[in-house]
Amino acid sequence: ELEKILESGPIPARKRTKSGKIVEKDLKDDIHGHEKVNFENNRIVLKVLLSAGSRGNLNPLFLINGLGEKIGWNIDPHNVNVLRIDLFSKAESGPLSLEETVSGVEAR
């Protein structure tokens, strides 16, 4: 079911802005890719590429809560582990890992 949600339709969530106003946001705007949802050792493993920067930022826990609301699951944030594997930079050809970005700078 999570796979279907990631591949179709919006994932709406309410977010409080710095000024305190509550706005509705589509979380899919900040999801730039995902791998197949896996089940390992009695856990759901979700690998996603999310916005993180000055122009857009999607906190992984905010995504988990949004997905939980959409499918009717009450997810305890204390039971969620987030592992950031890499940072990416946006390029015309697609996302570049931090390592690729630094290698490109050193080559100049």
Q: What pLDDT does 19 receive?
A: 94
Tell me the residue ranges of DSSP E strands in 1-108.
12-16, 22-26, 31-34, 38-40, 43-45, 48-50, 88-91, 94-97
Check pLDDT > 80 for residue 82. Answer: yes
pTM for the whole thing? 0.73
40-78 per-position pLDDT tens digit:
888 888 888 888 877 778 889 889 988 888 888 888 888
**Average pLDDT, whole number, for the chain?**
82
103: confidence class by pLDDT, cuts 50, 70, 90:
low
